[in-house]
Amino acid sequence: MNPKETFKDSTALLFGIPVVIGAVVGVMFLLPVNEFVFSYEDKPVLGEALTYAGDQLWHSLMGRYPVKLIFFAAVGALLGLLSAVFYSSLYRSTLRIKQLSDELEKDLRALISHGESAEVEFKSTFRWDVKESRPNKSLEEVIMKTLAGFMNGEGGTLIIGVSDDGEITGLEHDYKVLKKKDRDGFEQALMAAVASKLGTDVCQYVHPVFHNTAGKDVCRIIIRPSHRPVYIKEGSDMRFYLRTGVSTRGLNIQEAVEFISTRWRT
């Protein structure tokens, strides 16, 4: 059998079986339920309503009420068809998501293998201090500087859970210090830090995507250029950071003014 015939057969089964099942459910369930409700509303006696519903079903099956039989079979078949369409759509969406996830996974491995660049930065952790084996919230500031540097420039990718030399370290230590110890908790903590330290309006330029690579979770953050200069408060000063080459550096006042006047020229 050729692939086209196989596809047609599988499609016929996918939609045909739910239609048949729906027609049977329409006749054997919807019809008697409708008749039961009709009888019980007219005379609220449970036994009589059940007997009436059973008689109506039997007479319909015997051909006494063909219109009623066809109507409920059609209603059931339509519901079965709609269910099949919904399931098919859901299945295709799930399949596309899986295919996209697989492609992103391949792309992630390629990014890591090429090392850090002007567009890509690696960070081992978000809040966990690897050297001291303890939580260190000041590390969060480093992440924010990198995000600001990318947003002030041409955008880029920050991968958390990968060391400078490309070793996959994962997010497990970061999960342990979060209130919600999973991907959702990590994303919430990340976006809360962006909102409080860089500004709520620039959250739209930060897009976290999670991967499981080598059995460890990794967060790839895709950063787009910002519509405005992004500053970070350090003590009483507001600092401006920019991604230059393979590092993120702070610009002095003169450099920042000159860059901003060109980057956000109105």
Instruction: Domain 115-263: give its CATH architecture.
Output: 2-Layer Sandwich (3.30)
With beta carbons less than 8 A apart as the criterion, state whether 205 and 212 touch.
no
pLDDT of residue 101: 60
Contacts of 149 (CB under 8 A, 6+ apart): 241, 242, 243, 244, 248, 249
pLDDT of residue 198: 94
**Residues forming a β-bridge with 237:** 234
| Helix segments in 153-220, DSSP class H | 172-176, 183-197
**Cα–Cα distance for residue pair 214/170, rounded to 1 Å:** 9
Contacts of 87 (CB under 8 A, 6+ apart): 18
With beta carbons less than 8 A apart as the criterion, state whether 116 and 204 touch.
no
Pick from 116, 113, 136: which is nearest to 214 by CA?
Answer: 113
Mean pLDDT, 10 residues at a time, the chain of 266 residues: 47 78 91 90 87 91 90 92 86 68 67 88 92 88 95 93 92 93 95 94 92 90 92 87 92 92 82
Tokens 């086209």, residue?
Answer: 4
pLDDT of residue 125: 95
Domain limits, the chain: 3-106, 115-263
What element of type H or E holds 107?
helix 66-114
pLDDT of residue 2: 45
> pLDDT digits over 162-212, tens only?
998 999 999 999 999 999 999 999 999 999 999 999 999 999 999 998 988
**Cα–Cα distance for residue pair 246/116, rounded to 1 Å:** 6
With beta carbons less than 8 A apart as the criterion, state whether 216 and 169 touch.
yes
pLDDT of residue 7: 41
